Amino acid sequence: MQIYLLRHAIAEEPKPGVPDADRALTGEGVRKLRDILRRARVGGLSPGQILTSPFRRARETAELAAKALDFAEPLLTTNSLVPSSVAQETWDEIRLYKGEPALLLVGHEPAMSHLTGFLLAVPELQIDFKKGAMVRIDVPSLGPRPRGVLKWMLAPRLAG
């Protein structure tokens, strides 16, 4: 299975009285994300499912990804992709989609970095997972513990 991890694009700064989960993407974030998605599509990104955190900035990122990739299925919202999510729980959810050749997961830091390390069987791995960055990890089997292979990482600065 190909697993694509996408951190949400640049979002509004936190504001007093506005819940963190309600922050929207900025114009700059949308522009940079479109560049990343264009490159990823050229690189073969064609997910069978898109899973997203329920936070607004992640949902907006997932919606832009769906549009850029001509993905017509409904987006699947899951709490296993919120910032505080646990990699093993996210892996357990990924395993539910064993019939899919590729999944796109849209979430936040620090969860995306932790999940990347977990999928690569290197939980101590340190990753500078920028907003709008994407990683492709191929996982040959969906057993209890993944042993994935890092295929590429695309950062917004490299896509423009």
pLDDT tens digits for range 111-136 = 999 999 999 999 999 999 999 999 99
Q: Is the confidence at residue 160, as pLDDT, over 70?
A: no
Predicted confidence (pLDDT) per residue in 23-49, tens digit: 999 999 999 999 999 999 998 999 999
The first and second tokens of residue 31, run together, are 């522009």
Instruction: Name every residue whose Cβ is closer than 8 Å to that of residue 65 and which is 6 or more positions away in sequence.
Output: 6, 33, 37, 50, 71, 104, 106
Q: How confident is the model at residue 60 (pLDDT cuts 50, 70, 90)?
A: very high
The pLDDT, as a whole number, for residue 104 is: 98
Question: pTM score, two decimals?
Answer: 0.96
